[in-house]
């Protein structure tokens, strides 16, 4: 399909991280120089793994809600995918994240090798020193190496990406291996701003519930890493504490749970008794609720304060100017510079007693401001106009450019 326009494809599998690409998609469909396509492979009923089922939940429902047209390719039909690509002749393909296990085979790297892959990080910021077997997994996985262009979400990610490419070059990567990468130069790493923070700040609509009602609306956002991957999750240690907190304060607080979409998929398998006990008691209370929607913004607007153990919400929530409590687990994967800056914008708690003390301070108007820390964070991270700059950058690079 040679129309003289750029043909850009978005492979969508996980709506819970669509907000990083949402503004880019909108810029693409508004641009007369671009043909834009969305393809999906499966929903929660046809996932091959637990993570695929968790992340793809309600995928088609949410796309319809957003009025985003899409093509659905059966996950066991690579020939149809190839025909689709042959018809479209994509100049660029956006894939949402690096983790191969979360994708059906159809959209794993071997099937995408001939194409120019574009990556915009799905998380607001690289916050941790995520190194496995001497590889920085935020910039140096097989997916990153196969990408044609990576739009970093921070200056430190840009630096890390360029350093990873230099190290690969210095280590004597073979010519064959270099040719297998779609963009084996440091120039494929670009920093034009943070699209996820742009989406949040543009669309956040505060409801000021505490000021209106006198009841504190708390958003609780626990991470999924209960098996110790990054060792930051505290849910198995404190979930029943949150039940008791709600039970003891039926009129003064409401707690809305927004768990990482993979948390209960793991918990149901690893600790089914705890999972069932928590769900039953949580559902029985009048001042608790659950948010499972793909977009966090309604809950951001609804809430007065956040409680989280990480990771991405350490940066995403404070940026809207509301207080956040960070339950920090001892021995977690170390923060990088971004992580330290973001964590400083939160009130750090070591246990549930610290959490309760911060809540009491908020209710009594004594919770210290984190405005100075937030200003330092904002000086480091650019986000306004990021999506437009990324689309313009793609338009300025001819598809044949190496």
Same domain flag for 184 and 104 = yes
Report how many domains make up the chain: 2
Residues 247, 324 within the same domain: yes
**Do residues 254 and 340 touch, judged by C-beta distance below 8 A?**
no
**pLDDT (tens digit per residue) in 318-374:** 999 999 999 999 989 888 888 899 999 999 999 999 999 999 999 999 999 999 999
User: Is there a domain that residue 175 lies in?
Assistant: yes
Q: What pLDDT sits at residue 402?
A: 43
Query: Both 209 and 343 in a single domain?
Result: yes
Same domain, 220 and 273: yes
Is there a single domain that holds both residue 48 and residue 161?
yes
- CATH number, domain of 322, equals 3.40.50.12580
List, in order, residues 6 or more apart from 190 with CB less than 8 Å away.
149, 150, 151, 152, 158, 393
Q: Position of tokens 């992580």?
A: 339
- What confidence tens digit (pLDDT) does each residue in 170-215 have? 776 544 444 445 554 558 999 999 999 999 999 999 999 999 999 9
Q: What CATH number does residue 142 fall under?
A: 3.40.50.2000
Domain for residue 24, yes or no?
yes
Q: Report the chain's mean pLDDT, rounded to a whole number.
A: 90
Tell me, yes or no, whether 348 lies in a domain. yes
Task: Quickly tell me which residue has 């990556």 as its tokens.
Answer: 119
Q: 160 and 301 share a domain?
A: no
Q: What are the pLDDT digits (tens) for 84-138?
A: 999 999 999 999 989 888 888 889 999 999 999 999 999 888 777 677 767 778 8
pLDDT for res 270: 95
Antiparallel, parallel or unpaired: β 347-349 and 305-308: unpaired
Q: Is residue 1 part of a domain?
A: no
Q: Looking at the predicted structure, is the pLDDT value of residue 42 above 70? A: no
What pLDDT, on a 0 to 100 scale, did the predictor assign at position 125?
A: 82
The model's pTM is: 0.90
> 220 - beta bridge partners?
257, 307
Report d(CA 240, CA 243) in Å as an integer.
5
131-172 pLDDT, tens digit each:
776 777 889 999 999 999 999 999 989 999 998 888 888 776
Residues 390 and 349 in one domain: no
Do 228 and 161 belong to one domain?
no
Same domain? For 319 and 390 the reply is no
Please tell me whether residues 184 and 237 are part of one structural domain: no
Identify which of 357, 356, 332 has the alpha carbon closest to the alpha carbon of residue 343.
Answer: 332
Q: Is residue 199 part of a domain?
A: no
Quick one: average pLDDT of 243-263?
97
Does the residue 244 lie in any domain? yes
Q: How far apart are alpha carbons 95 and 21 in whole angstroms? A: 10
At residue 91, the pLDDT reads 97
Q: Are residues 176 and 150 in the same domain?
A: yes
Structural domain boundaries enclosing 286? 204-380
- Determine the pLDDT at residue 181: 57
Does residue 130 sit within a domain? yes
pLDDT of residue 176: 41
Tens of pLDDT, residues 51-77: 556 666 688 889 999 999 999 998 888
Reply yes or no on whether the pLDDT at 7 is more than 50. yes
Residue 252 lies in a domain: yes
Residues 387 and 371 in one domain: no
**Residue 386: what pLDDT?**
98
DSSP state letters, 174-222: -HHHHHHSS--SGGGEEE---HHHHHHHHH-----HHHHHS-EEEEEE-
């Amino acid at each position: 399909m040679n129309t003289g326009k750029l043909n850009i494809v978005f492979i969508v599998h996980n709506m819970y991280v669509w907000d990083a690409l949402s503004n880019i998609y909108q810029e693409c469909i508004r641009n007369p120089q671009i043909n834009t396509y969305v393809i999906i492979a499966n929903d929660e009923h046809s996932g091959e793994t637990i993570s695929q089922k968790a992340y793809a939940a309600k995928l088609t429902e949410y796309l319809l809600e957003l009025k985003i047209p899409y093509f659905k390719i059966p996950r066991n039909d690579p020939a149809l995918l190839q025909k689709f690509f042959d018809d479209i002749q994509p100049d660029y393909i956006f894939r949402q994240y690096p983790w191969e296990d979360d994708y059906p085979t159809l959209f794993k790297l071997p099937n995408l090798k001939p194409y120019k892959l574009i990556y915009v990080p799905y998380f607001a910021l690289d916050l941790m020193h995520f190194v496995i077997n001497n590889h920085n997994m935020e910039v140096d996985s097989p997916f990153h190496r196969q990408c044609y262009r990576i739009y970093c979400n921070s200056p430190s990610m840009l630096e890390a990406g360029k350093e990873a490419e230099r190290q690969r070059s210095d280590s004597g990567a073979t010519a064959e291996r270099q040719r297998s990468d779609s963009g084996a130069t440091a120039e494929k790493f670009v920093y034009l701003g943070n699209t996820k923070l742009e989406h949040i700040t543009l669309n956040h609509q505060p409801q000021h519930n505490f000021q209106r009602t006198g009841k504190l609306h708390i958003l609780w956002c626990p991470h999924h890493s209960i098996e110790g991957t990054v060792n930051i999750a505290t849910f198995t240690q404190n979930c029943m504490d949150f039940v008791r907190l709600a039970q003891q304060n039926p009129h003064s607080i409401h707690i809305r749970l927004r768990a990482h979409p993979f948390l209960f998929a793991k918990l149901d398998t690893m600790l089914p008794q705890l999972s069932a006990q928590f769900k039953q008691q949580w559902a029985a209370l009048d001042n608790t609720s659950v948010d499972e929607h793909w977009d966090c913004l309604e809950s951001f607007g609804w809430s007065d304060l956040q409680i989280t153990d990480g990771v991405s919400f350490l940066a995403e929530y404070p940026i809207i100017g509301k207080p956040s409590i960070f339950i920090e687990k001892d021995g977690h994967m170390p923060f990088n510079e971004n992580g330290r800056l973001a964590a400083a914008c939160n009130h750090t708690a070591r246990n549930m007693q610290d959490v309760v003390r911060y809540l009491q301070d908020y209710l009594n108007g004594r919770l210290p401001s984190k405005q100075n820390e937030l200003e330092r964070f904002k000086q480091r991270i650019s986000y306004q106009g990021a999506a437009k700059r990324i689309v313009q950058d793609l338009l300025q690079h001819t598809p044949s450019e190496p």
